[in-house]
């Protein structure tokens, strides 16, 4: 029984690291308006100082700070107003001791001035004179050139998944397009004589395909491009020719179903006949997800995922998701939610266990409620907010224990 | 000073609820392959039983369970093999007491049988006889008709944000398209004489536009359609004509910048002149985000967000995000991360305070590290993983306190 020689997840990840070391993504230049959800393939440096002039953060008067030293709300200093700065315009005003100029919020601070005193703290005596009633420190209410981002400073690191707020930062820094990794191309094939296209009529004994649709949507959410979606009968030659065709132009081929030790198991044989090294993982010490197959042929990664929808989703997250993140050098701030487990959870000794959970907010925290049931495969996957990993050397989870929930 | 009569966030949300009560989205039918990230506008019911036949969960023999009662690994029962079920096919085999038929994982359990015994627990004596070595309970290793999802049962509730795993559930239930809310249409206008298009050359005293790009990307991430992206000078007539045009075909118009009490504040005047009721919120007891304006004209929602990027992002999340979720009846399982605060954080009495934080994983939990600095507006927004709300009646956060981080 080949399935008995199973690897731990760490062994599987190590083998993947080694076998897939030469699978690389190319990069492409993309306009920053299209770049949310893509991954930076280079470090992005600011082309400019932000701001590139000394900028006032308040409506007030640009002054020489030392003029106000010792000033109180009963002993003001009187300053000569020598002009006002227009918003969005350069100014050639120069402030000397004893002088002031009006500056609006966001306006350029004239040279010579080293602080801005807020209008709340001054009184206009006449057109040409203000009384200042507050001691103002040098630098107060000014953002200096490059204070926010200095020219040449790193804005986005290589491997960063670009979020909406990064677009604004790049826009501010005058960056129009950046290098991102191409989308990994993935073929998703479901196999099994009982699996039918969900959009056709089905015969008695058949079930509608779930995995092709779930896995494709998860791949697209991760930033991959799904180029093939197919349901194929468990016939060696049919599966072989379809997988071989899919290897042509994809980085990854996922075959779901057909990986139990049943009579119709052909996935491993197909992978083995397509080229070296073929199957290098056959069985994994996890629950669920034991009948997982991983191979390589013609320089492409092949994953044989279990047919059971819950197992397929979790093995996908843990192995395929991991590999795709690696391909993109993603630093992978993968969001996990600390939560208190609502009940005891048993695990199988010697196996890493994945437990689907639903999250319920309680005060400043979450309760993780395990979802069970042999029967509720589809309902489980749709209802779960995430899953918890129980390492192979840990005996279950106790009620009240804090666990990290990986979000689905 | 109109800005002194400010509302609390709860007062603002209550006013929005009342004023925007008649703004509605229409719905559209979408193929399930295109539906991730959209929001269900109806409850989705399963059209079929899943599975729609009694299904084996193992490779084994379909039997009458009572035949095995009292059986042990030394005292087997012998059963007559009367056939085998083919994968993906209906079967007309009928099992009586003393009989068995082979069924593969996922195969149809013949009528008469009420359990499946795993092949691990039987021995094939000859073609026509097996010895069964394990007592098997009725129902064991069978998923019954409708066990996973019963025909007519609810698969997706109204207001659910559709995730990848829901696609599989709908495919399994034979659903091809569903009703979702149309994308709310939003115009994003930045105003300010110092704001320049980031893709052109800029003059001294100008800064490149951030908010249009950040807000547009956040809107698209939330599932809205951004129809207008513009930078407009702070001139009443120019802003008025552009906002009026934007009201024509959008649910929401966002104007960022131009909402301080500075000389050039025209946003509130523009909103007030476009129709009843005009501005109904001018100033909010939050930090940052005080100079927020909300109004309604011609049946559309208008938001005047602060120009400062950090403020704009947070007010957007708390008000505009809230309103969009409401428009779509989203139940809004908005992901918050419990985290331990790394330092004391001060807040302003009487104001709700938003504090940007970075998350650092520590063991089975996170540390929330507050991000500060008047100057680092752009770097802050890009670096922050989320923000923490400090209610107006709470005096800051103590080091070590558990806070809920709203993810950006």
CA neighbor of B371 nearest in space, from B389, B383, B353 = B383
Cβ-based contacts of B147 with chain A (< 8 Å) = 375-376
B199 plus B299 within the same structural domain: yes
Cβ-based contacts of B210 with chain A (< 8 Å) = 168-169, 171-172
Dist CA A301 CA A18 (whole Å): 12
Q: Is the pLDDT of residue A388 over 70?
A: yes
Q: Which residue, among B33, B48, B88, would best test binding to A if mutated, counting the most A CBs under 10 Å from its CB?
A: B88
pLDDT in tens, B98-156: 999 999 888 999 999 999 999 999 999 998 999 999 999 999 999 999 998 999 999 99
ipTM above 0.95, yes or no: no
Cβ-based contacts of B313 with chain A (< 8 Å) = 165
Dist CA A43 CA A326 (whole Å): 17
- Higher confidence at residue A174 or residue A327? A327
Tokens 């899919």 sit on residue: A246
A198 plus A305 within the same structural domain: yes
**Angle at the Cα of B391 from the Cα atoms of B389 and B394, rounded to 5 degrees:** 120
Cβ-based contacts of B166 with chain A (< 8 Å) = 382
Structure tokens at B360: 């650092």
CA distances from A354 to A260, A317, B180, B208, B313 (A): 19, 11, 32, 48, 36
B37 plus B86 within the same structural domain: no
In this predicted structure, what is the pLDDT of residue A259? 44
Q: Is the pLDDT of residue A12 over 50?
A: yes
In this predicted structure, what is the pLDDT of residue A258? 58
- Choose one of B327, B355, B378: the last residue of a domain: B327
Dist CA B280 CA B319 (whole Å): 14
**A364–B193 CB contact, under 8 Å:** no
Nearest to A210 among B57, B171, B193 (CB): B171
CATH number of domain containing A16:
3.40.980.10
SS3 content of chain B, % helix, strand, coil (to 5): 20, 35, 45
B161 plus B227 within the same structural domain: no
Q: What is the DSSP string of A111-163?
A: BT--EEEEGGGEEEEETTEEEE-S---TTTTEEPTTSSB-TT-EEE-TTPBP-
For residues B237, B240, B246 and B247, what is the CA-based torsion angle, rounded to 10 degrees?
-150
Cβ-based contacts of A168 with chain B (< 8 Å) = 210-211, 213-214, 217, 309, 378, 381-382
CB proximity B167 to A under 8 Å: yes
Q: Minimal Cα distance from A374: which residue of B?
A: B143
Tell me, what DSSP letter sits at residue B316?
I
Structure tokens at B207: 């800064």
**A199–B207 CB contact, under 8 Å:** no
**Angle at the Cα of B365 from the Cα atoms of B359 and B367, rounded to 5 degrees:** 35
CATH number of domain containing A163:
3.90.105.10
Dist CA B31 CA B176 (whole Å): 6
For residues A342-354, average pLDDT: 90
pLDDT in tens, A277-315: 999 999 999 988 888 999 999 999 999 998 888 889 999
pTM of the model: 0.90
Dist CA B79 CA A389 (whole Å): 42
**A36–B220 CB contact, under 8 Å:** yes
**A90–B172 CB contact, under 8 Å:** no
Q: Please report which confidence band the pLDDT of residue A3 belongs to, taking 50, 70 and 90 as the band edges.
A: very low
Q: How many CB pairs under 8 A join A and B?
A: 285
Whether the CB-CB separation of A399 and A344 falls below 8 Å is answered with yes
Quickly count: other Cβ atoms within 10 Å of residue A140's Cβ. Answer: 20
CA distances from B405 to A293, A318, A337, B216 (A): 39, 25, 11, 23
Whether the CB-CB separation of B55 and B172 falls below 8 Å is answered with no
In this predicted structure, what is the pLDDT of residue B105? 85
Dist CA B288 CA A285 (whole Å): 51
**Total domains in the fold of chain A:** 4
Cβ-based contacts of B217 with chain A (< 8 Å) = 36, 163-165, 167-168
A37 plus A84 within the same structural domain: no
- Choose one of A161, A181, A201: the last residue of a domain: A181
Sign, CA torsion B35/B37/B49/A407: positive
Of chain A residues 299-358, which have a CB less than 8 A from chain B?
A: 307, 309, 313, 333, 335-338
For residues A226-252, average pLDDT: 94
Q: Please report which confidence band the pLDDT of residue A408 belongs to, taking 50, 70 and 90 as the band edges.
A: confident
**B89–A203 CB contact, under 8 Å:** yes
A119 plus A154 within the same structural domain: no
pLDDT in tens, A187-211: 999 988 888 888 778 888 888 888 8
Q: What range defines the domain where residue B342 resides?
A: 336-407
Whether the CB-CB separation of B211 and B307 falls below 8 Å is answered with yes
In this predicted structure, what is the pLDDT of residue B261? 52
**B263–A218 CB contact, under 8 Å:** no
CATH number of domain containing B120:
2.170.190.11
**B198–A403 CB contact, under 8 Å:** no
Quickly count: other Cβ atoms within 10 Å of residue B280's Cβ. Answer: 18
Structure tokens at A77: 């200093």
In this predicted structure, what is the pLDDT of residue A2? 45
A65 plus A87 within the same structural domain: yes
CB proximity A137 to B under 8 Å: no
For residues A89-107, average pLDDT: 94
Residue % of chain A over a pLDDT of 90? 69
Q: Which residue, among A156, A164, A166, A332, would best test binding to B if mutated, counting the most B CBs under 10 Å from its CB?
A: A164
B273 plus B365 within the same structural domain: no
A194 plus A169 within the same structural domain: no
- Choose one of B181, B199, B231: the last residue of a domain: B181
Quickly count: other Cβ atoms within 10 Å of residue B349's Cβ. Answer: 11
Dist CA B5 CA B106 (whole Å): 67
Dist CA B192 CA A51 (whole Å): 15
pLDDT profile of chain B (408 residues), mean per 10: 70 97 97 94 93 91 97 94 93 97 93 96 94 96 92 93 91 92 96 83 85 93 94 90 97 80 72 95 90 95 91 92 94 80 91 93 92 73 90 92 92
Q: Is the pLDDT of residue A358 over 70?
A: yes
CA neighbor of B81 nearest in space, from B114, B126, B116 = B126
A256 plus A189 within the same structural domain: yes
CB proximity A57 to B under 8 Å: yes
Nearest to B105 among A172, A173, A260 (CB): A260
Mean pLDDT rounded to a whole number for chain A: 91
In this predicted structure, what is the pLDDT of residue A175? 92
**Angle at the Cα of A171 from the Cα atoms of A169 and A175, rounded to 5 degrees:** 105
Whether the CB-CB separation of B61 and B79 falls below 8 Å is answered with yes
A159 plus A94 within the same structural domain: no
Nearest to B168 among A33, A90, A214 (CB): A214
In this predicted structure, what is the pLDDT of residue B111? 97
**A381–B165 CB contact, under 8 Å:** yes
Of chain B residues 12-41, which have a CB less than 8 A from chain A?
A: 32-33, 36
Q: Minimal Cα distance from B53: which residue of A?
A: A205
A208 plus A246 within the same structural domain: yes
CA distances from A230 to A163, A192, A246, B265 (A): 32, 11, 11, 58
**A106–B210 CB contact, under 8 Å:** no
């Amino acid at each position: 029984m080949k399935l008995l020689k199973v690897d731990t997840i760490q062994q599987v990840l190590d083998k993947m690291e080694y076998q897939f070391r030469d699978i690389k993504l190319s990069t492409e230049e993309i306009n920053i308006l299209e770049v949310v959800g893509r991954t930076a393939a280079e470090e992005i440096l600011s082309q400019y100082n932000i701001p590139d002039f000394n900028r006032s953060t308040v409506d007030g008067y640009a002054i020489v700070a030392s003029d106000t030293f010792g000033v109180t709300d009963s002993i003001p200093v009187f300053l000569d107003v020598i002009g006002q700065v227009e918003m969005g315009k350069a100014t050639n005003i120069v402030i000397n001791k004893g002088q002031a100029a009006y500056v609006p919020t966001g306006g350029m601070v004239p040279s010579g001035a080293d602080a801005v005193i807020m209008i709340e703290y001054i009184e206009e005596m006449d057109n040409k004179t203000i009384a200042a009633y507050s001691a103002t420190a040098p630098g107060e209410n000014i953002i200096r050139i490059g204070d926010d981002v200095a020219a040449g400073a790193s804005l986005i690191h290589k491997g960063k998944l670009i979020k909406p707020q990064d677009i604004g930062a790049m826009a501010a820094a005058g960056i129009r397009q950046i290098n991102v990794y191409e989308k990994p191309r993935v073929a998703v094939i479901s196999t099994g004589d009982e699996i039918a296209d969900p959009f056709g009529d089905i015969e008695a004994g058949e079930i509608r395909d779930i995995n092709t649709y779930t896995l494709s949507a998860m791949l697209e959410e991760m930033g991959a491009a799904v180029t093939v979606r197919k349901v194929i009968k468990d016939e060696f030659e049919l599966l072989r020719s379809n997988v071989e065709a899919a290897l042509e132009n994809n980085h990854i081929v996922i075959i779901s179903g057909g990986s139990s030790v049943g009579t119709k198991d052909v996935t491993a044989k197909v992978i083995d006949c397509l080229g070296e090294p073929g199957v290098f993982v056959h069985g994994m010490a996890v629950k669920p997800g034991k009948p997982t197959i991983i191979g390589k042929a013609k320089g492409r990664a092949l994953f044989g995922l279990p047919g059971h929808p819950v197992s397929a989703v979790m093995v996908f997250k843990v192995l395929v998701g991991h590999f795709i993140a690696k391909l993109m050098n993603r630093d992978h701030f993968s969001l996990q939610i600390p939560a208190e487990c609502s009940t005891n959870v048993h695990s199988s000794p010697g196996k890493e266990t994945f437990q689907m959970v639903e999250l319920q907010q309680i005060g400043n925290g979450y309760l993780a409620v395990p979802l069970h049931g042999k029967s509720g495969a589809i309902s489980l996957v749709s209802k779960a907010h995430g899953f918890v990993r129980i390492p192979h050397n840990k005996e279950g989870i106790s009620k009240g224990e804090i666990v990290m929930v990986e979000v689905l």
